[in-house]
Amino acid sequence: MVRRTDLRVGALTLAGLREVYRAPARMNLARADLARVRRSRATIEALIASGRTAYGVNTGFGSLASTRIARGELAQLQHNLVLSHAAGTGEPLSDAVVRLVMVLKIASLAQGYSGVRASTLRALQALLRAGVYPLVPGQGSVGASGDLAPLAHLSAVLLGVGHVRYRGRTLEALRGLRIAGLKPLRLAAKEGLALLNGTQVSTALALAGLFEIETVYAAALLSGAMSVDAMKGSDAPFDARIHAVRRQPGQADVAAQLRSLLRGSRIRASHIDCERVQDPYSLRCQPQVMGAVLDLLRTAAATLLREANAVTDNPLVFAREGEVISGGNFHAEPVAFAADQLALAIAEVGSLAERRIALLVDAKMSGLPAYLIANSGVNSGFMIAQVTAAALASENKALAHPSSVDTIPTSANQEDHVSMATYAARRLLAMAANASNIVAIELLAAAQGLDFHRPLRSSTALEAVHARLRRRVPRLRRDRYFSPDIAAARALITSGELLAHLGPRMFAGG
């Protein structure tokens, strides 16, 4: 369970959100939070009583914004809004992503700019606390006017409509409400719109992508360092002086990590005076490429953390002034840009790792047995594993095409420019999975390369990684069914165990 102090309204941290993604969580609200919520709700009630018009409170939605709704129909308006907008399709979002969405939505509504009742907020808290997660289809949002369809599916559960996930099972929404100790809500004016409007789904998907990419990135630093030693490459290109004059912080940090990982290698010492002048770029330029990736990860993380703490529904309620103002905070362009940056970053991580695999299996380049196997010819070794890595790298290149440059008008041209942030973020999980398989193959290949250099040993750090891998996957001495080896190496990567072999956390928010 995530510590309460890590999930404070308006002060969410990346460390806390990482834990929400990994494990069940609860989010408690302070008295000050609830006081803001009540003041905001009172402002909405006062507006209705005064007979003034406010978008989404007593009007229709989207292109129907000019349609005035009678006071007696305001609750039905919100109910209908949720049901009509629950038009998503596709595979459901994972429980982990939905849990993030719920935390982000609670944190946004609790800032007191949305006009919901405290009882509605407590219902969301109760679902989260009970581990009852709405079943939310992954497709149907264009990332502007909020993530309307997916958030409608989340919100419909509060009405007793739809389905939930509980302990790995799919249940009717009404049963999920009972498990959480709730009854179906009757929404009040403005509440449906506040629940549906917002960038929480896009942001949660982008955060999930970020967290998975960070794990793969860390493993790629280790496999890249191991490939240097397996190839009898030089550590001279990682000299701190080279990177100091470039003035790129990520590059300097990666070079420092590589120096630390390779320090004390007896393999390196064995060829310190060899005649090779330069290594191929995929070895030598790791600080420049992986450093640029690291800078992008840090930039995207900062954007997403701001968005996680933002209020992004519409209209917004400013209780102090007694005003309700319609704007456009629901437009998820910052999330779309961040997701596109992350897509470019993870595509490059996989591309660089694939090139190192290609070096390792090429006897002319590596000096190792062809395809990293004894008696090649009879044995094919890593031949097709490299082809798999190439296929995955190319797939990620196609997926990396920017989504934020796309837009398509909706709602009778009222919503004429959209961000496509939801797809931009959703593809990141597939890209991270592809890259993790590429890095798994490199880890296997580099470990095989080290095995051919015995009795010489690599550094203490890399030998520890090698030993951890060998506990799951034995050395390849002759051809065997290869796919389970890749799966086992990938499981090691995604477990996060390899992070222990790096220095202090390099990512934003520790």
Tell me the C-alpha distance between 233 and 323, whole Å. 66
Write the DSSP symbol of residue 90.
Answer: E
Active-site residue, 21 included: no
One of 21, 55, 113, 217 is an active-site residue; which one?
Answer: 55
Torsion of CA 303, 307, 310, 312, to 10 degrees: 130
SS3 139: strand
- What is the sign, positive or negative, of the torsion defined by CA atoms of 55, 58, 61, 64? negative
Tell me the C-alpha distance between 444 and 452, whole Å. 13
Tell me the C-alpha distance between 344 and 427, whole Å. 12
Q: What are phi and psi of 318, to 5 degrees?
A: -110, 95
β-pair partners for 172: 163
β-pair partners for 379: 376
Torsion of CA 174, 177, 178, 182, to 10 degrees: -130
Instruction: State the CB neighbour count (10 A cutoff) for residue 331.
Output: 21
CA distances from 286 to 101, 122, 197, 279, 493 (A): 35, 49, 42, 11, 19
Are 146 and 154 spatial neighbours (Cβ–Cβ below 8 Å)? no
Are 228 and 258 spatial neighbours (Cβ–Cβ below 8 Å)? yes
Tell me the C-alpha distance between 305 and 183, whole Å. 33
Q: What are phi and psi of 66, to 5 degrees?
A: -85, -5
Are 150 and 77 spatial neighbours (Cβ–Cβ below 8 Å)? no
AA identity, residue 488 = A
H or E stretch at 133:
strand 132-134
CA–chain centroid gap for 155, Å, is: 23
**Crossing angle between the packed helical segments 95-109 and 148-156, to the nearest 10 degrees:** 90
H or E stretch at 317:
strand 316-318
SS3 379: strand
Tell me the C-alpha distance between 406 and 332, whole Å. 13
> Given the structure tokens 């080279």, which residue do they identify?
242
Active-site positions read: 55
